[in-house]
Amino acid sequence: MYLGKIGDGEELAGHGLIHAVLAFLEDQRLDPTPLNYSFAYHVVSEPAGALALEVARRTDGGIRLTTNEVEQLGNAIDGTADVAGTRPEAAPGPPAAPPTPEPDMAAAEALVTETLRQVAGFADMVSEMRTETRDFGRNLAASADALQRYAPIDSTDAAVAELARITAAMRARVEIAEARLEQATQEASELREQLAAAHDDARRDPLTELPNRRAFEEAVAAVASGPVHIAMCDVDHFKAINDLHGHPVGDRVLRAIGTTLARECPDHLVARYGGEEFVVLIAGADVVEAETLIERARIAIGQRRYRLRESDTFINGISLSAGMVTMTPGETLLSAIERVDALLYDAKRRGRNCFVGERGG
């Protein structure tokens, strides 16, 4: 459990506190939203505080906080509830102000995109300036060499000698400017790469390294034409795996399942939708091909052997339940997800470890 690493009264500040907050979010599998970040900050910055102690009590034994628990405990930050989950009797007074809404994710995404565009434009501009400066420097060098040949330093023509001196000085300054522009070009390129990597990380699940829910939603929106099929896959009895073998083993199982799904569904998007749920976007195939693909992947998951590295024994009975729908023209993704969820639950009711499609499964 992460909280055990920040105790002993050790003061966290600067980068250390930032790293501690990010580590807490990763350990609890919490998205880095403003609400979750604020919650994590209060936990790790005051390890002896009531909130941190309550979080430690609830996560004892490797149990992770649920979203509801984070929201409930987070109310303690502004004093609207105590951390033990019991609410003191409120004294009469004016109604509490509504909670501050989280920033518009679309606006944040637009800001990142615009920043990437500006950095790319700056890098191109600096590169062009560097090229022009280098060409100018070469011209100056040629001029200086010509002046030296026709008007050496001891020349009696003072005007020509002064022109040679000024040209040489300008050449030296241009060389310095060129070196600085080269450094600026390198820094702009590195910044662009870092922003692009951060942009990609925001669309990648850190556990399985598959695309995440946001990337899946963007991919669906980007499909231009053709049939679009959405399959939802859920690991059967996953809680029992965590309870019996622990969360680290459960995490390894999820990574193995994600790898197998991606291998069995080449040329199609496999994403981790959340928890033990995976989603597959199949575009450009007919419904029979799509159903055959998902059924083959489901069988491959069940046939794979999962070995415990700690004891060299196998985990038996790991399987998937799956449902699949074909989006209708003009249908929203929300509607398609609701329909595929219904088919997934139907597969669960049928005894799990099976696939249910709209044609009956």
Catalytically active residues are 276
Tokens of 140: 């100056």
Of 105, 110, 171, 101, the residue nearest 143 (C-alpha): 171
- Supply the DSSP symbol for 204: B
Residue-wise DSSP of 335-361: HHHHHHHHHHHHHHHTTSS-EEETT--
Which ranges in 59-104 belong to alpha helices (H)? 67-74
Tokens of 289: 């091909």
- Supply the DSSP symbol for 211: B
Question: Can you tell me whether residue 124 is helix, strand or coil?
Answer: helix
Distance CA(325)–CA(336), nearest Å, equals: 7
Residue 315 near residue 258, CB atoms below 8 Å: no
Distance CA(122)–CA(292), nearest Å, equals: 49
Judging by DSSP bridges, how do beta strands 320-326 and 355-357 pair with one another?
parallel
Question: Can you tell me whether residue 279 is helix, strand or coil?
Answer: strand
Tokens of 67: 């979203």
Of 340, 344, 351, the residue nearest 322 (C-alpha): 344
Tokens of 134: 């280098």
Distance CA(63)–CA(58), nearest Å, equals: 7
Which ranges in the chain belong to alpha helices (H)? 14-27, 34-45, 50-58, 67-74, 105-150, 158-201, 213-222, 238-245, 247-264, 287-303, 333-349
Distance CA(105)–CA(99), nearest Å, equals: 17
Within 10 angstroms of residue 337's Cβ, the number of other Cβ atoms is 17
- Supply the DSSP symbol for 78: G
Tokens of 102: 């989280």
